[in-house]
Chain A
Amino acid sequence: MIGLVIVSHSAKLAAGVHELAAQMAGCQVAIGQAGGLSDGGETLGTDASRVLSAIDEVWCEDGVLLLMDLGSAVMSAELALEMLPENRRRNCLLSNAPLVEGAIVAALHASLGEPLQAVNAVAEAALAAPKLDRAG
């Protein structure tokens, strides 16, 4: 079963998304979080070494999917992957999914035992899923 890492500028946002995702996954999926800077997340920002630690925490051979908010969160996640040994980097994937919807979908589908690429595909489908029905 794959692991997930939530990367956000805000430690509180990361914790909140983690809480939502954990409820969808029902304790079956390892979900790490990396929110805020290296001062324990007190300051808004993202930090590659915190992302790296979060990956290490949830690491498993099935892979780890990283969900980011935006901007430097993406860059910190990329940096963290560069810091990983090659054999682990191969099994990590940055998701293009929106953070909240992506984490909810990814957690649920990870808990169903789906593989890394499949979980990412359903999470990224959230990009095209409107919240409001404006068809009428």
Chain B
Amino acid sequence: MSNNARSPLPGDRAAHPQTPRQPSKCVVVTVSDPRGLHLRSGRDVVRIASRFQARITAANLSRNSGAVDLKSILQLMQLQARQGHSLRLAAFGPDADAAIEALCSLF
């Protein structure tokens, strides 16, 4: 598993052993809203993220937090992201690129 650090779905590998690693995309964004990532902006993030098949995660680098599910409003709020915090967004799946592109502008 050591070469599998970027594969988020080990279960999928078992189910489809012939399938190569899924496309993945990763960016770091900075929270620009003076109020940080709050409920309403989080709602918009979840709405957009939910349009994509990709599994999408976010980690708050400024708090050294673990990655949370970007399609969950409660997990997003757990990031406690303030203005200026750096978030690493990662998407895994066939539409990973499009998902990250759509999400970047929301921060």
A interface residues with partner B (beta carbon < 8 Å): 20, 23-24, 26, 101, 104-105, 108, 111-112, 122, 125-126, 129-131, 133, 135-136
Q: Are A133 and B74 in contact (CB under 8 A)?
A: no
B interface residues with partner A (beta carbon < 8 Å): 39-40, 43, 46-47, 50, 63-66, 72-75, 77-78, 80
Q: B73 contacts which of A24, A131, A133, A136 (Cβ < 8 Å)?
A: A24
> Given A112-B47, A133-B80, do A23 and B40 touch, yes or no (CB 8 Å)?
yes
Instruction: For A26, list chain B residues within 8 Å (CB).
Output: 43
Number of A-B contacts (CB under 8 A): 39
Compute how far the CA of A7 lies from the CA of B77 in the bound complex, rounded to whole angstroms: 24
Q: Are A129 and B78 in contact (CB under 8 A)?
A: yes
Compute how far the CA of A70 lies from the CA of B64 in the bound complex, rounded to whole angstroms: 36
Closest CB of chain A to B41's CB: distance in Å?
Answer: 12
Compute how far the CA of A130 lies from the CA of B80 in the bound complex, rounded to whole angstroms: 12
Compute how far the CA of A131 lies from the CA of B73 in the bound complex, rounded to whole angstroms: 12
Q: Are B43 and A108 in contact (CB under 8 A)?
A: yes
Q: Are B74 and A105 in contact (CB under 8 A)?
A: yes
Instruction: For B50, list chain A residues within 8 Å (CB).
Output: 112
Compute how far the CA of A26 lies from the CA of B44 in the bound complex, rounded to whole angstroms: 10
With A108-B73, A133-B65 given, can you name 5 additional A-B contacts, CB distance below 8 Å? A20-B39, A101-B74, A105-B73, A105-B74, A112-B47
Q: A135 contacts which of B43, B66, B73, B77 (Cβ < 8 Å)?
A: B66
Instruction: For B80, list chain A residues within 8 Å (CB).
Output: 133
Instruction: For A111, list chain B residues within 8 Å (CB).
Output: 47
Instruction: For A112, list chain B residues within 8 Å (CB).
Output: 47, 50
Compute how far the CA of A20 lies from the CA of B63 in the bound complex, rounded to whole angstroms: 27
Task: Determine the residue in chain B with the shortest Cβ distance to A23.
Answer: B40
